[in-house]
Amino acid sequence: MDKELQFSDAYPPREIARKVEGLGVAKARTDPVTLLALAVLAGAFISLGALFFIVVVTKSALGFGLTRLFGGLSFSLGLILVVVAGAELFTGNNLLAMAWASRLIGTREVMRNWFLAYLGNVGGSLATVLLVVWANVAGLGGGAVGETVVAIARAKADLSVTEAFARAILCNALVCLAVWLAMGGRSVTDKILAILFPITAFVAMGFEHSIANWFFLPFGLALDGEGGVSVVGVTRNIVAVTAGNVVGGTLLVAGVYWVAYLRGERLPNDGSS
């Protein structure tokens, strides 16, 4: 009975930390072709989650809170696909900072992973924008979906650098916590449930995700016929949100858990013992 309980129970936080650390080493040393292919998939997966969000919130009569709640649940599709189906997402890969802090991988390996993951994510997002435009998904609901896209893109482009940066920090803290919790699960059901609440929360609270914004903002620009979505604002958002995501993932999650559970586990042997 005890063995059955142990098998069905979630991994404890210290064990999750070791799993994340080990996975970070493996990710940092993934060959570039595999990494890029999986990163393109992740960009497409997140974009599909973002599109699902757009359709769900369009013309909703549930009121602000409930609309955001159901929109957030819909957006969770993206990270569920990334974690369960397997893909390389830049924001989740900020957890590589744990393996770096333990000196298991070098700075160059981390930067290589982040660069290729980000590049592939952007490619996957933009390719999804192209397909969605060709499919005229914006025409759903008598064009209401397209109006929602433009409104979302305009609101994001109008954020100040400070607002975008702060919202991005909070966003990736929750995204990395979702990945962290999923690493603690033993079944697909465990992983999906672990992802749902943190992702729903960040979407409902209006936080900013860099890879999702590579879908929202270009899609909005493609549909905006009145110049309401500023190209300068789009650029400002992408830069500030990307930087904020890195801070939120590396410091607030990877850094804190490394200090709590892994600090000192691999001190160099000075030969005195």
- Following DSSP, what letter does each residue of 80-91 receive, concatenated? HIIIIII---TT
Instruction: Give the chain's domain count.
Output: 1
Asked, for residue 172, whether it belongs to a domain, the answer is yes
Torsion region of 31: left, alpha or beta (phi above 0 gives left; psi -120 to 50 gives alpha): beta
Q: What is the C-alpha separation between 69 and 203, in angstroms, rounded?
A: 8
What pLDDT was estimated at residue 4? 47
Strand ranges (E), 63-185: none
DSSP category for residue 11:
P
The CA radius of gyration of the chain, in Å to the nearest whole number, is: 19
CB count in 10 Å sphere of residue 48: 18
Tell me if 14 is assigned to some domain.
yes
Output the pLDDT for position 1.
41
The answer to whether the CB of 211 falls within 8 A of the CB of 125 is yes
Residue 9's pLDDT is 81
| Structural domain span for residue 162 | 10-262
Chain position carrying tokens 């929109």? 71
Residue 273 included in any domain: no
Q: Is residue 267 situated within a structural domain?
A: no
E strand map for the chain: none
CA 197 to chain centroid = 14
Mean pLDDT by 10 residues, the chain (273 residues): 56 94 96 98 98 97 96 98 97 97 96 98 98 97 97 97 98 98 95 97 98 98 90 97 98 97 67 35
* 140 three-class SS: coil
> Per the domain annotation, does 38 fall within a domain?
yes
The number of CA neighbours under 13 Å toward the Cβ of 255 is 8
Residue 211 lies in a domain: yes
Report the C-alpha gap between 31 and 241 in whole angstroms: 27
pLDDT at 7: 55
CA 151 to chain centre: 22
The residue with tokens 């900072």 is 97
1 within domain boundaries: no
Q: For residue 269, is it within any domain?
A: no
What pLDDT, on a 0 to 100 scale, did the predictor assign at position 229? 93
Rounded to whole angstroms, how far apart are CA atoms 30 and 28? 6
Give me the CATH number covering residue 148. Answer: 1.20.1080.10
Task: Report which residue type is found at 37.
Answer: A
**d(Cα 81, Cα 84) in Å, to the nearest integer?**
5
pLDDT at 210: 98
